[in-house]
């Protein structure tokens, strides 16, 4: 940790140990905002792609002869086949050009069958029969015939919400970036600093005229802040749970800091999450090695701004 009067002035911490304990004590459990739970824009956009076809398939709900009715419908509109996997929560890319199913394994041999459900143009009788078989064996026909659902668009809306919830594990980091950008934007506007989001060596050179090679040309930094002539790279993340990834991340940033400092640039790590309480030692190692490791409470209290200003004045 780089020594700074900001810690004593803004946090009332007099030593590195006190700063680290403050960091651990003020870590937030998570950074969820209201838009964390469901990305409604994406859910509704996906639903709109299927809505016309789903309304067509609605005629099958409650049909006693649902199998023959589906066959007749697919003969008239074979493109409706592609909606069968959607009813099972499968994305289109998961079934192109075909969906392979393990059909038998009890005879000492693994037998597979491929179902082509994304067709362009007319469908053969065999292809229609295969699609109907797929719908029967996966339970779709039973779902349609027993009237457990009233509307396929409404049903798929629920499926899409469920699929979107699987993306939450990646959403925490984006939420953290969004929150940090609020503070970074405010600091840079008031202090007349410049910053970039998702900055690479190329964009930093083009926008700031600053050369750097640490991390390789393809590496993207969450933020790059130019305060005067001093460049600081900012990495942002949030970990709700512990594990080996946290230790690996801390080690990666320690190595990256060494490379950046050799080129005269700084690395600032902004992190959050309850996961660090069970992975304390790697965070302390990084805290001691890097110029600064901060959490959102410290940023909100002005520590990030103070460190950037100090860094600029020391140039």
CA 230 vs. chain centroid, Å, equals 31
Helix/strand/coil for 307? helix
Query: In the numeric block, which tokens belong to residue 64?
Result: 């006693």
The candidate with the shortest Cα–Cα distance to 268, out of 241, 305, 242, is: 305
* pLDDT for the residue 70: 97
Domain with CATH 3.40.1350.10 in the chain: 5-35+168-313
> Would the pLDDT of 208 be above 90?
yes
CATH fold label, 5-35+168-313: Trna Endonuclease; Chain: A, domain 1 (3.40.1350)
**CA 52 – CA 135 distance, rounded (Å):** 19
Cα distance between residue 22 and residue 193, in whole Å: 28
Task: Tell me the DSSP string of 35-84.
Answer: GGS--HHHHHHHHHHHHHHHHHHGGGTT-TTHHHHHHHHHHH-GGGGGHH
- Six-digit token string for 29: 């459990």
C-alpha distances (whole Å) from 140 to each of 57, 143, 209, 262, 276 are 11, 5, 59, 61, 44
Residue 113: pLDDT band with limits 50, 70, 90: very high
Mean local confidence (pLDDT), 245-253: 94
pLDDT of residue 206 exceeding 90, the answer is yes
**pTM, full prediction:** 0.77
Spatial distance between the Cα atoms of 260 and 311, rounded to a whole number of angstroms: 14
| 82-104 pLDDT tens trace | 999 999 999 876 677 789 999 99
pLDDT category of residue 72 using cuts at 50, 70 and 90:
very high
172 pLDDT more than 70: no
- Nearest alpha carbon to residue 64 among 138, 128, 155, 146: 146
Q: In the chain, which residue ranges form alpha helices assigned H by DSSP? A: 5-11, 16-25, 40-57, 66-76, 83-86, 125-137, 140-145, 152-165, 168-191, 201-208, 244-262, 280-289, 296-300, 303-313
């Amino acid at each position: 940790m780089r020594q700074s009067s900001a810690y004593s002035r803004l946090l009332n911490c007099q030593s590195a140990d006190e700063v680290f304990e403050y960091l651990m004590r003020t870590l937030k459990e998570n950074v969820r905002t209201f838009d964390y739970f469901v990305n409604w824009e994406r859910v509704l956009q996906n639903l709109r792609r299927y809505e016309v076809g789903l309304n067509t398939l609605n005629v099958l709900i409650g049909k006693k002869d649902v199998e023959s009715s589906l066959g007749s419908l697919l003969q008239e509109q074979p493109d409706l086949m592609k909606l069968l996997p959607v009813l099972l929560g499968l994305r289109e890319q998961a079934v192109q050009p075909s969906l392979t199913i393990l059909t038998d394994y009890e005879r000492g041999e693994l037998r597979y069958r491929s179902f082509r459900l994304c067709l362009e143009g007319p469908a053969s009788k065999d292809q229609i029969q295969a699609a109907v078989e797929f719908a029967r064996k996966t339970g779709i026909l039973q779902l349609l015939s027993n009237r457990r659902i009233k509307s396929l668009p409404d049903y798929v809306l629920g499926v899409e919400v469920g699929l979107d919830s699987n993306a939450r594990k990646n959403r925490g980091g984006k939420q953290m970036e969004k929150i940090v950008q609020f503070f970074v934007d405010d600091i840079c506007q008031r202090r007349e600093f410049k910053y970039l989001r998702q900055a690479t060596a190329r964009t930093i050179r083009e926008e700031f005229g600053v050369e750097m090679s640490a991390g390789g040309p393809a590496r993207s930094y969450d933020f790059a802040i130019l305060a005067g002539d001093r460049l600081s790279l900012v990495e942002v993340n949030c970990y709700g749970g512990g594990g080996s990834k946290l230790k690996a991340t801390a080690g990666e940033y320690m190595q990256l800091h060494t490379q950046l400092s050799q080129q005269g640039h700084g690395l600032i790590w902004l992190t959050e999450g309850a996961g660090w309480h069970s992975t304390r030692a790697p965070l302390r190692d990084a805290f001691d090695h890097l110029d600064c490791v901060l959490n959102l409470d410290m940023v909100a209290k002005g520590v990030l701004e103070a460190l950037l200003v100090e860094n600029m004045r020391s140039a």
